[in-house]
Amino acid sequence: MKKVLSIALPAILIAGLFTACTKESANPSKGNSVALNKNLAPVPSSDNWEQLPGTGIDIAIGRDGNHVVFAINTTLVTSTGGNQVVKWDSINSTWNVVPGGAGVRIAVDVNGNPWVVNKSNLIYKYNGSTWTLLPGTGTDIGIGANGIVYAINTTTTAGGYQVVKWNGTGWTVIPGGSGIKIAVDATGYVWVVNKSNSIFKYDGKF
């Protein structure tokens, strides 16, 4: 009888421990499951999000009052230029190809015209009928509602590349600026993300 009890008792203890662990892991109010759930991003409701036709790698909206929308789609034009530039046709709900355009990054100025950076880091501006190659090189570009154009060029810095401002004929380097991605807000303030994923804001006072 003693031998039976000595074998049964450890078995009962192990079974109880297993049951407790199972309950703990199944309880969402305890353990690592809470931390994991907190890191999950909410899924957009299909009732609020409308999927548009086409595909893209970058998109920009103009501030000329008409809110024109341009994008870089996924159709390769040339290996050195990049992909097609397209403009949203809200009447027909489709994207129209902008002739001669090719790039990887895009911004839209106050006149509703796109500026693009292509795969070779060249910068082009569209005037509604033709593309003009601008001086300098870039990796990203942003335009404020006040019309000021900023870019990330290709000169290496500690945080990525230099931040530059369009002066009408060329690019002026912004002291201390360094990043890999750029955006410009309505007041002309510049926001950049650098290669260390840090975020900086510049007041434009230069």
- Closest of 167, 157, 163, 158 to residue 177, by C-alpha: 163
User: Is the domain of 26 the same as that of 85?
Assistant: no
- Quick one: 63 and 18 in the same domain? no
DSSP 8-state symbol, 26: H
What residue spans of 27-146 are helical by DSSP H? 32-38
**Structure confidence at residue 199 (pLDDT):** 98
**Could you tell me the two tokens for 164?**
């530059």
The verdict on residue 49 lying in a domain is no
22 and 73 together in one domain: no
Q: Which tokens go with 4? A: 């039976």
Kindly state whether residues 104 and 197 are assigned to the same domain.
yes
Can you give the pLDDT at residue 186? 87
* Two structure tokens written together for 190: 């510049």
What pLDDT score was predicted for residue 26? 43
Residue span of the structural domain in which 196 resides: 58-202
pLDDT at 188: 87
- CB contact burial 75-88 (16+ within 10 A = b; e otherwise): eebeeebbbbbbbb
Which CATH number characterizes residue 85's domain? Answer: 2.120.10.30
pLDDT in tens, 115-161: 999 999 999 999 999 999 999 999 999 999 889 999 999 999 999 99
Residue pair 203/185 in contact (Cβ under 8 Å)? The answer is no
Residue 36: its pLDDT value, please?
A: 47
Do 18 and 100 lie in one domain? The reply is no
Rounded to the nearest 10 degrees, how much is the dihedral formed by the CA atoms of 157, 160, 165, 170?
Answer: 70
Please name which of 98, 114, 93, 96 lies closest in space to residue 51, comparing C-alpha atoms.
93
Is 52 inside a domain boundary? no
* Start-to-end CA span in the chain (Å): 92
Token duo for residue 82: 């990049």
Tens of pLDDT, residue by residue, the chain (206 residues): 444 444 444 444 444 444 444 444 444 444 444 444 556 666 666 678 999 999 999 999 987 656 799 999 999 999 999 999 999 999 999 999 999 999 999 999 999 999 999 999 999 999 999 999 999 999 999 999 889 999 999 999 999 999 999 999 999 999 999 999 999 998 889 999 999 999 999 987 76
